[in-house]
Amino acid sequence: MRNVSSIVATIKKAYVSRKFKRRNRSIMGDMSLTILLGLFGLFSVWPLIFIINNAFKPLNEIFIFPPRLFVMSPTLTNFQDLFIVIGNSWVPITRYIFNTFFITAVGTLGSVIIGSMAAFPLAKYVFPGSKTMSKLIVYSLMFNGTVTALPNYIIMSKLHMIDTYWALLLPSIGGTLGLFLMMNFMVQVPDALIEAAKIDGAKELTIFWRIMMPLSRSAWITLIILSFQSLWGTTGGGVIFTEKLKPVSYALSQIVNAGIARTGVASAVTLIMLVVPVVVFVISQSNVISTMATTGIKE
Amino acid sequence: MLTNQTITRRKNNRSFSKIWKEHGAKYLLIMPFAILFIVFTVIPVMASMVISFTSFNMLEAPSFVGFRNYINLIVNDDIFLIAVKNTLFFALITGPISYLMCFVFSWLINELTPKVRAIMTLVFYAPSISGNAYLIWKLIFSSDMYGYANSWLLRLGFITEPILFFDNKDYVFPILILVQLWLSLGVSFLAFIAGLQNVDKTLYEAGSIDGIKNRWQELWYITLPSMRPQLLFGAVMQITASFSVSQLSIELAGFPSVEYSGHTILTHLHDYGFIRYEMGYASAIATILFFTMLFTNIIVQKALRRVGA
């Protein structure tokens, strides 16, 4: 008993000493909020743990009753099977991978360049139409592409873009979320830098390329992430019909759709589709957060 | 009269060339984006409104029908009314809850040490970037006893036979809400984390001197007002997402879902636009959804500006 009470005393002491650093906190509040966070964290991560475990389960474990969360004898069979299935596909898998790589690379590069080109004048100058444009961009965040999908399709077919990469690339580059983030980031770049450059005789283009772009590095990393996330998962459904032009996520989803016999392979595929964007996010997390810090709808 | 007009025109010309001389480079920088924005956002929104007053099947030229599409939607289309009810109900639940989740979790995470904070950020953010990982919920709520939910409920003795989760309209809707909430800690969550890290720390010290006693007062009087821009941005993201559930419903509950229990305005739009090719009718649905989203956002923006003020 004495042991327990001494432990409690130490915790309390530790708390009191911490309290000097952190004002306005109570032990009860801290504990209940930590428990809340833990519970919801578990809810959030549990299905993902499930996916990871499933990918390494041999078939007999996937269909075991009662079902188990954790894998007992981990194996790479599912991944080997995946490679066999992929190896037999009519269009070589390398082609699908190339397609995704191409779409993601061009789309991302396009959004970064075109987005920052437009963001710079809107963030740093006042000129006829600039207010209207900024307002339109905020309003465009208030609905999404789903409500314009039909006319979009008609427009793309009139421009002969259906069944080409343009149908995926151009709407993505023309998206406003990335531009909005970039604009907010550029607003907080000190005006003094621009004034100084102006005195040195620099024109807008020079200021954009020599000052704004190098200073907005974390904003364009964020743009790269957002654009990567949306393009990586695209299956090209509805706009890309030629098999050879389809992205890799389409090929993988076809493998998954082949039914119960592919359950093992499917869980391997799900893991691969999940890991790539997560790894990309982990690498760039600090940049993304520092961009988001400047984001917001100002009054 | 004539001279007056020519004078104004000349004036306009002069001011145009003056504006161009002064701001030309800026317009050139914006141009590529502006063209894409106009072609893929502005024109489609307007086209959608125009087409909604016509009957159009993509093959024949559209013919003007006035308000008939809207009248049919509201008066004759019972399924649309189910879709509206579901969508509003869905948005009313997932919108505020997901917004609160984004805020509460980012607020709690903010008190952790940087390393733990980075891990917890990933834990909450990962579902929203995990592509089609949400299909795992199909396995969890699988209808046979191999489904995880069923197997546990059976073993714990709550039920005696497996529940057909996706074949019973009482279960479809709550499951969709659960999965949507799981997916909903996205960009706004990151924005909140960033906003919290940027709150001026000296404000807390000052507040403490001014008599702020606990974390709740701190939250209401200092933290929330300091991150109002992020709060407004997050609201827009969550509202828009909560109104645009369709893929999730189609993949999990099937299409059409049992007794239209997972039917939303967007799945209705999908049905008429991409399956039946009734573009006029589908555009009327799209237009209604567009204004619903826009007005909800504008109203919530107005309300949020009062936070802590």
Select the residue from B19, B102, B129, B215 to test the A interface by mutation, using most A Cβ atoms within 10 A: B129
Query: Chains A and B: how many Cβ contacts under 8 Å?
Result: 276
pTM: 0.84
Give the number of other CB atoms < 10 A from CB of residue B29: 22
B76-304: which CATH topology?
MetI-like fold (1.10.3720)
Candidate from B44, B139, B218 with C-beta closest to A152: B44
DSSP 8-state class, residue A243: G
Higher-confidence residue of B263 and A59: namely B263
pLDDT score for A3: 67
> In the prediction, which pLDDT does A8 show?
67
More confident of the two residues B33 and B171? B33
Give residue-wise pLDDT tens across range A208-253: 888 888 888 888 888 888 888 888 877 777 778 888 888 888 887 7
Contact B36 A171 (CB under 8 A): yes
Residues of A within 8 A of B131 (CB-CB) are 232-233, 249, 273-274, 277
Distance, in Å, from the CA atom of A187 to the CA atom of A191, rounded to the nearest integer, reads 9
Average of pLDDT values for B16-35?
A: 88
Whole-number average pLDDT of chain B: 86
Q: Please determine, for residue A263, whether its predicted confidence score (pLDDT) is greater than 80.
A: no
For range A243-270, the mean pLDDT: 78
> Is the model's pLDDT at A32 over the cut of 60?
yes
Q: Domain locations in chain B? A: 2-51, 76-304
Position B101 scores a pLDDT of 92
Q: Is residue B308 over pLDDT 60?
A: no
Nearest to A292 among B33, B137, B191 (CB): B191
Return the higher-pLDDT residue of A131 and A236: A131
Please give, rounded to a whole number of angstroms, the shortest distance from the CA of A121 to a CA of chain B: 6
Residues forming a β-bridge with B63: B55
Name chain A contacts of B147, Cβ cutoff 8 Å. 67
Sorted by where each starts, the structural domains of chain A and their CATH numbers stand as 86-292 (1.10.3720.10)
| Other beta carbons less than 10 A from residue A280's beta carbon | 16
Give residue A19's pLDDT.
47
Of A136, A226, A274, nearest to B133 by CB-CB distance is A274
Question: Which one has a higher pLDDT value, B1 or B159?
Answer: B159
Q: What is the DSSP letter of B62?
A: P
Residue B7 has pLDDT above 60, yes or no: no
Q: Which of B170 and A63 is assigned the larger pLDDT?
A: B170
Nearest CA in chain B to A252: B132
The answer to whether residues B252 and B166 touch, using CB atoms and an 8 Å cutoff, is: yes
What ipTM describes this predicted complex? 0.83
Q: Is the pLDDT of residue B10 over 70?
A: no
pLDDT over 50 at A20, yes or no: no
CA of B241 vs chain A CAs: smallest distance (Å): 8
pLDDT digits (tens, 9 = 90+) for A79-112: 888 888 877 777 777 888 888 889 988 998 999 9
Measured CA to CA, the distance from residue A244 to residue A237 in angstroms comes to 14
Distance CA A191, CA A169 (A): 33
pLDDT value at A189 more than 60:
yes
Give the model's pLDDT for residue B9.
Answer: 56
CB pair distance less than 8 Å for A127 and B22: yes
Q: What is the pLDDT of residue B225?
A: 86
**Rounded mean pLDDT of A153-161?**
89
CB-CB under 8 Å, A253 with B132: yes
Average pLDDT over residues A271-281: 87
Q: Do A118 and B23 make contact, defined as CB atoms within 8 angstroms? A: no
Question: Cβ contacts of residue B29 below 8 Å, gap of 6+?
Answer: A117, A118, A120, A121, A204, A205, A208
Instruction: Please state, in angstroms and rounded to a whole number, the distance separating the CA atoms of residues B63 and A48.
Output: 51
Report the C-alpha gap between B63 and B47 in whole angstroms: 14
Residues B281 and B71: their CA atoms lie apart, in Å, by 10
Q: How far is B36 from chain A (nearest CA, A)?
A: 5
Cis peptide before A128 (omega within 30 of 0): no
How confident is the model at residue B12, as a pLDDT? 60
> Which positions in chain A touch B194 (Cβ < 8 Å)?
289-295
pLDDT tens, residue by residue, B99-134 = 999 999 999 888 888 888 889 999 999 998 877 778
Q: Is the pLDDT of residue B43 over 70?
A: yes
Q: At what angle do helices B78-109 and B228-243 cross, to 10 degrees?
A: 150
* Partners of residue B109 in chain A, C-beta under 8 Å: 37
Query: Which of these ranges, A42-56, A248-262, B285-299, has the smallest mean pLDDT?
Result: A248-262
Rounded CA separation B31/B15 (Å): 20
